[in-house]
Structure 1
Amino acid sequence: MPLTYLHTMVRVKDLDASMAFYKLLGLEETRRMDSEKGRFSLIFMAPPGQTDCPIELTYNWDGDEGLPSDGRHFGHLAYRVDNIYETCQLLMDNGVTINRPPRDGHMAFVRSPDNISIELLQEGDDLPPAEPWTSMENTGSW
């Protein structure tokens, strides 16, 4: 039986904050559907040129108090980046907490505004250990 990947869906409470976070990671809006009748919006975002692997942000217009306080039950989203140190620095400069710093030059974890765990992985070989990352402690859960 053939299987085709479609997308990963996460529910979001603050659409603007969530879209800004995913844009910091380099994702672009590829498609949007607003349902007046259902009172929700679906925003699909993907890395440039990779529209076949989107994330779907589902936003309920009337709020979504049912969202869990810890999105980790879902697992995590993973993205490969050209330079893990530059990516983490950009995120930090924009107020994002680096929960698991890239001490190994290979992997880091952050969380979206909706508490979704995001894994960042270095493209190719690990980068050489560098400060401030090598001595940075974990913050919170990832």
Structure 2
Amino acid sequence: MIHFLHTRIRVADMEASIAFYLQLGFELGEQKDSPAGNKLAFLHLPGNEHFLELCWSPDYEVAVPEDLMHTAVGVQDIISYCDKLENAGIEIWPSAWREKFSSGKRKMAFVTDPDGYEVEILERS
């Protein structure tokens, strides 16, 4: 059997990116320097095998084109999760997410990390 193990993204500011993903509920695992001189940080969500690898390189300029890619997380109660993020100063979009959720439509929202990567939030039972 083949397993999907991790996703690497390049970041401009390792500490800001770590802080952002910790607010989303990720836990910080190992941090190390790669043989190529990159700084790496490994984050995971409890109960998940797949992890997110943040990579900072001194000679790499991060410029994420809009809508290039996104990651997605599933939460049991999207309203309380988004409230928590919004109270921490993270912008939830679309801006009228509360109204959309009350109309019974599919509950989906997005946040954007410090480098412009989108994180989709889906309600999953």
Sort the TM-score into its range (normalised by shorter chain). Answer: 0.7 to 0.9
Q: Which runs of 5+ in 2 are unaligned?
A: none
Give the stretch that moved more between structures: 99-108 or 15-24.
99-108
**Which whole-Å deviations, capped at 9, do the CAs of 1:22-67 have from their partners, x for residues lacking one?**
11111101222213x53211111111132x110111111x2532x2
What is the alpha-carbon distance in structure 1 between the residues aligned to residue 13 and residue 88 of structure 2?
Answer: 17
Q: Which runs of 5+ in 1 are unaligned?
A: 125-142
Q: Which of 87, 93, 96 is equivalent to 2:90? A: 96
Name the TM-score, length of structure 1 as normaliser.
0.74
RMSD: 1.8
Partner amino acid for 1:43? A
Report if the CA contact (8 A) 1:7-1:56 is conserved.
yes
Name the TM-score, length of structure 2 as normaliser.
0.83
Q: 1:118 to 1:9 in 2, by over 3 A?
A: same
Q: 1:71 to 1:22 in 2, by over 3 A?
A: farther
Deviation at 1:122, TM superposition (A): 0.8
Q: Could you tell me which residue of structure 2 aligns to residue 47 of structure 1? A: 45
Q: Quote the sequence identity (%).
A: 33
Which structure is richer in relative contact order (CA contacts within 8 A, separation 6 or more)?
A: 2
| 4+ aligned runs moved over 6 Å, structure 1 | none
